[in-house]
Amino acid sequence: PVDDADPEVELPVVYSDDHLLVLNKPPNVAVHPTARHHHATVTKMLQQRFPNEHLRLVHRLDRETSGVLLVARGPAAERTFKMLFEGLITSDVTATPGRRRFRAGTATRAPEGQRLVDKEYLAICWGSPPDGLVDLPLESDPDNPLRVKMRLAKAGEGLRAQTRFEAIARCSGYTLVRCAL
């Protein structure tokens, strides 16, 4: 069923400047409206809280996932931050003490293996997995009507995806794992 009323949810702002909002997204809050969650979403809450701003999500977090969420303030900042997530370097981003200017421009890809944005997650899992690396390609799931769900691709096809994981703590059949994408 569609959510009838907006639950009491806070989106604490961790950092804010002229170009960026950094939010602490709680778990069980959808980022975008879906068939089941239409009103109580991050994008809807941002529209209500900042009605006159051009705010755009730089990335997404799953509904169940809590964590830091970056929101660009303006089209130029949105393009620049998304380019950084894609591993693109642009010479048109300039920084001076206390001020940053963002302009869209030509971009080059970062050297192989060099990330411009590191993403790390903590997860609690059942059992006691060994440290390791998951290196399996992903592709869009054609059976998903919203075209946002991913699935494993056949070897040699799809998008390269790697996650390195290590156990941080183990107790009573559970393990706290650090996952670096």
| Residues recognised as catalytic | 62
Q: Which residues contact 7 (CB under 8 A, 6 or more apart)?
A: 40
CA distance 68 to 54: 20
Beta strands in 79-137 (DSSP E): 88-90, 94-96, 99-101, 107-109, 120-126, 132-135
State the Cα torsion 58-15-25-68 to the nearest 10°: 60
CA distance 41 to 7: 10
55-57 vs 67-73, strand pairing mode: antiparallel
CA distance 22 to 93: 19
Q: What are phi and psi of 88, to 5 degrees?
A: -100, 135
